[in-house]
Chain A
Amino acid sequence: MLAALLAPAKAPAVDLSAHMSLATGALWLGLGCAVAFFLVRPELWRRLWLERVDPRPAGLFRIVFGVVVLWTLLDLIPLLRFLFTDEGLWLPAMARKNYGGELRRLWDPEYGFESWWSVVPALWAKFSLFHLRADPAFVWAVFGLTCASVTAMILGVKTRLSTLLSWFLVNTFYSYSPVFYSGGDTVLRVFLFLGLLTRWGEAYSLDAWWRRKRELLGGSLVVPALRKIPAWPLRLMMLQLAIIYCATGALKSGLTWFDGTALYYALSLDHFYRHPVQIQIATFLHWIGFLPLSTWVTKAWETLFPLALVGVALRRFEREVSAGTWPKVQAWRRLLSYALIAAVVGVLAYVGGLTAWYYYSPGEAPVAITRQQAQALVVAGVLAFPALLLGAYSWLRARRPRAHAWVLRWLCGKRLWLGLGVVMHLVIDVAMNVGTFVQVMLAVYIPWLSASELDAVWRTLMSRPLGEGEGDRPKHKPGWKASLLRPLDRLRYRGPREPYVVHHAADEASIRRVALLRMWDLGARLRFETDPSVPAGALVIVTPDVKTRQAGAEAGRALVPILPGFWWLYPWCLAPGLRTLAGRVVLRTFELR
């Protein structure tokens, strides 16, 4: 595979037959060694894939990703007739013939399926309901059903079933024909399948809420916990994102990515820019060197993105070593696993060297070396690179703890790789219209977050900036420096806001009902006080800004800003007639009054 990447995109035809069999055998050996590594070290495989993790990042991903899927679907409404109905681009027979996979052989428009079991191979190949029937009424009905199932998936209603249905129905649209695909659609399809494998309904879902509510009201002595979920689908999502970026970075092999003009051209294309005036801005940014630099950073960032995965693994290793939980294995297993890794590197070096020998042309190289020398250089490079990396890491770890920490936190840290990605995609969205590509790419960053990071996000959202000199926040002398630092300090130094105090009756039923509020209180803004003056089952709130007791629908409405699960009600609270209704929705959710 390395050879494939090393081979130039449009390489001249070279007769490789003399070494093809040898290289093929070597690559099989390399693959075998990689698999054998995990057979020798199964504890690493278990850590990598089979552990259980907090379900909250997966739950948030389901909601955000689901919203992007729904948005993409709704975006298709103006083209629904053109793309999917028999009054559009394809009559079903043509679409079936070109894109129907096995269905075109297994199904006859007049006689149906050849046999009942023909449905199985038809489904196994690409399958779209519209290959069977595509009149406008049917297409619109399927579209409505798709939107409903995606909405159920977002809300977490019968999540496994609604995800399966969403995957099937969304693919009914995508499998009909690929003529309208963009990069964002491909990301969407790929991650929807991975979502199907994920138990992403265990948090932030109505399913989880109903289960926990039932347990709490049924007599549980603690607020029921969220159930942990298998980590492997989330890890596959991380691997998938790394592949997307690495592949797209490696394939950007044209001249414009090396001479720094690629972004200038991309921003100047009629099909993408948001306004033609941007061309002047792009030209200026190219002139001052910003765009060439951004071009190189983009290519390097994309190609090297898998370093973020390395960082995740290294931080886990260091954390477990510190905690003393990293598994100790027998020396022979450890040595054998090292030998297997060395064998994989050896195979890559061998095939890489051969590739250099075949494709290197001495006449075109900047430095005059022979083919044999080029081959030796590549072999030495591929062998030395991992050894150097490992040596440097070990040296830093032993001798330079601060630099080692910097490598873990920054060079291989999520803050660099994901942070740069967020900035890059936001800039793309401002400057170019590429549909929901940006939104789906940002959504698929969520599986990279840990539960504690997500908790920190909620607490930050619910916190307030500390005043100058308050807590850890430094006090700067007035001047331009202070003005520049102020916004950063406001983001960095945060403190908890005053709590909302929930007054409740002392009976068991009232306690259990107000305890339900804790499941929605993601930013830990609520404090509870038993108050004999509050009637059983009633909700009374004292908010930090109003300071007076609010009861009934008014209390319910007061909770909307601090309970993220009710943020969708916020616009209602602004409309005078609907404020009370919004409050009642909150009260009904917790069976309070």
Chain B
Amino acid sequence: MSQAAEQPASRLADALLRAPAAEDPSDEPWAYRGWAALLVSLFILYHTVALLQHTTPAAGLAERFNRKLAGFLRAGAYMRATSSVQSWAMFAPNPHRTNQFLQVRVVTQDGEELDLLHDIYGRRDYPYFFYDRMGKINRRLLEQERYQSPYAAWVCREWARTHGGEAPVRINFTKMWTKVPPPDKAIATMGFDPFALKLYKEPLKGFDCATTPHAQLPNDIRARYGFTPLPDGAFVDIEENTWRDRADAKARILQRRRAADAGRGKAPAGKAARGEDAAPPAEGGAEGAPGEGGGAEGAPGDEPALANEGGNEGGGADGGGD
């Protein structure tokens, strides 16, 4: 029988139904004591200093301090690991004063050039209720050109996926923009029609679907849709340089060294004395074969480096955006 059952019901009702809500019975004001307090304090200190370092521009006389502090704290790695990378340059240093759009056109196997209507210029429905990330991505392609090649590659693949596996020839980009008139000009007419503004155009570099990396619909996706596989060598892949690639490269180097050593043993003494074949090939692609660069971290020459591991992840970091 519970303790309460022995009490009159009215006293229980008073306690449970009318008394003020109970407070946490623990009268300990602090959340931690001893080692736990120390550890939590160290973490708070670390997080706070790393956050301040990460969000303060490394410029002027603070540049070296900022850099050394970041190195000491490994702040970049911590921010990435916790997904706390941030940049707060919203509408900074100025909001954009131009509306920018990227027109995307595809050149088909028939030689026809079609506008794929990926830009929002004159195409958005108003009132604008549902957020359109594609509009933002379209603008970002202009602000950060490194995205243009992967985007063109996707357009090639997507065209192939939706046209029986047949890739187009080329993707062409045109930068389009209108200038927001300064306030004094707008005041003279009390506003302006954004679609009556002069539209400027500038053709940008295009991308061939046959040679741009990853612009070909790969065989596993072709199989998903029942398309015939690509001819051998048609898919332009990228170099990944995984642990296995590096291990293979090292194994090949070792094999060559052994072969060279064995050859030296069989070779005439004169040749060995002259030192031919004696020097091992330098690591890092000295053999000329791509992908053999043991430990080489860089992007291959024909692949634009998109590495975005550092700070440029914060929304709006791309200059005056949202």
Q: Known contacts A247-B55, A254-B94, A283-B187; decide if A225 and B47 are in contact (CB<8 Å).
A: no
Within 212-230 of B, Cβ neighbours of A (below 8 Å) are at 213-214, 218, 220-221, 224
Mask: chain B, 101-138; 1 = CB below 8 Å from A; 0 = not? 00000000000000000001100101111011111110
**Per a CB cutoff under 8 Å, which of A45, A184, A269, A275 touches B99?**
A269
Question: In the complex the two chains form, is A51's CB within 8 Å of B31's CB?
Answer: yes
From A5, A167, A275, B127 is in contact (CB under 8 Å) with A275
User: Given A97-B240, A182-B322, do A223 and B22 touch, yes or no (CB 8 Å)?
Assistant: yes
B308 & A98 in contact (Cβ 8 Å cutoff)? yes
In Å, the complex CA distance between A276 and B121 comes to 12
Q: Are B238 and A94 in contact (CB under 8 A)?
A: yes
Report whether A104 and B61 are in contact in the complex, using a CB–CB cutoff of 8 Å.
no
Please tell me if A268 contacts chain B, counting CB pairs below 8 Å.
yes
Q: State which of A28, A97, A358 has its C-beta within 8 Å of the C-beta of B60.
A: A358
Contact in complex: A4, B80 (CB < 8 Å): no
User: What residues on A are CB-neighbors of B259 within 8 Å?
Assistant: none
A231 is an interface residue with CB less than 8 A from chain B: yes
Residue A478 at the chain B interface, CB threshold 8 Å: no
Say if the beta carbon of A420 comes within 8 Å of chain B. no
Q: Tell whether A11 pairs with B47 under 8 Å between CB atoms, given A178-B308, A511-B17.
A: no
Among A11, A107, A187, point to the contact of B59 (Cβ < 8 A).
A11
B174 at the interface (CB under 8 A from A): no
A148 within 8 A of B: no
Q: Which of B13, B47, B213, B313 contacts A511 (CB 8 A)?
A: B13
Which of B16, B151, B238 lies in contact with A93, CB distance below 8 A? B238
Are the CB atoms of B322 and A506 closer together than 8 Å?
no
Q: Pick the interface stretch among A16-24, A308-316, A492-500.
A: A16-24
Q: Would you call B192 an interface residue if the criterion is a C-beta within 8 Å of the partner chain's C-beta atoms?
A: yes
Q: Is there an interface contact between A24 and B24, defined as CB atoms closer than 8 Å? A: no
Instruction: Judge whether B18 is part of the interface by a CB distance below 8 angstroms.
Output: yes
A524 CA to B258 CA in the complex, in Å? 85
Q: Is A180 an interface residue (CB 8 A)?
A: yes
Q: Report B1-44 CB contacts with A as 1/0, cut-off 8 Å.
A: 01111000110110111110111111011111000010011001
Interface set, chain A 242-279, CB cutoff 8 A to B: 243-244, 247-248, 251-257, 261-262, 264-266, 268-276, 279
Whether the pair B81, A124 counts as a contact (CB closer than 8 A) is yes
- The size of the chain A interface, using a CB distance under 8 A, is 147
> Do A180 and B136 contact each other (CB < 8 Å), given the known contacts A105-B242, A193-B83, A252-B93?
yes
Question: In whole angstroms, what is the CA distance A387 to B16 when docked?
Answer: 54
Q: Is A507 an interface residue (CB 8 A)?
A: yes
- Does A376 sit at the interface, judged by CB under 8 A? no
A318 at the interface (CB under 8 A from B): no
Contact of A108 with B96 in the complex, beta carbons under 8 Å: no
Q: Which of B84, B150, B224 contacts A193 (CB 8 A)?
A: B84
Chain A residues 40 to 62 lying within 8 A of chain B, measured CB to CB, are 45-46, 49-52
**Pick the contact of A275 from B81, B126, B308 — CB < 8 Å?**
B126
Most chain B beta-carbon contacts within 10 A, residue among A108, A269, A433, A515:
A269
Instruction: Indicate whether B200 reaches chain A with its CB closer than 8 angstroms.
Output: no
B190 touches A275 (CB 8 A): no
> Which one of B52, B55, B178 has the highest number of Cβ atoms from chain A below 10 Å of its Cβ?
B55
Find B21's partner among A90, A167, A272, A518 (CB 8 Å cutoff): A518
Interface residues of B (CB under 8 A from A): 2-5, 9-10, 12-13, 15-19, 21-26, 28-32, 37, 40-41, 44-45, 47-49, 51-53, 55-66, 68-69, 77, 80-97, 99, 120-121, 124, 126-129, 131-137, 139-140, 147, 150-151, 153-154, 157-158, 161, 178, 180, 182-183, 186-187, 190-195, 213-214, 218, 220-221, 224, 237-238, 240-246, 297, 299, 306-309, 312-316, 321-322
**A-B contact list, 20 entries, CB within 8 Å:** A4-B66, A52-B26, A97-B240, A171-B83, A175-B83, A183-B90, A216-B16, A219-B4, A225-B23, A228-B24, A248-B90, A265-B95, A265-B96, A270-B121, A274-B128, A283-B183, A286-B187, A354-B61, A433-B132, A511-B9
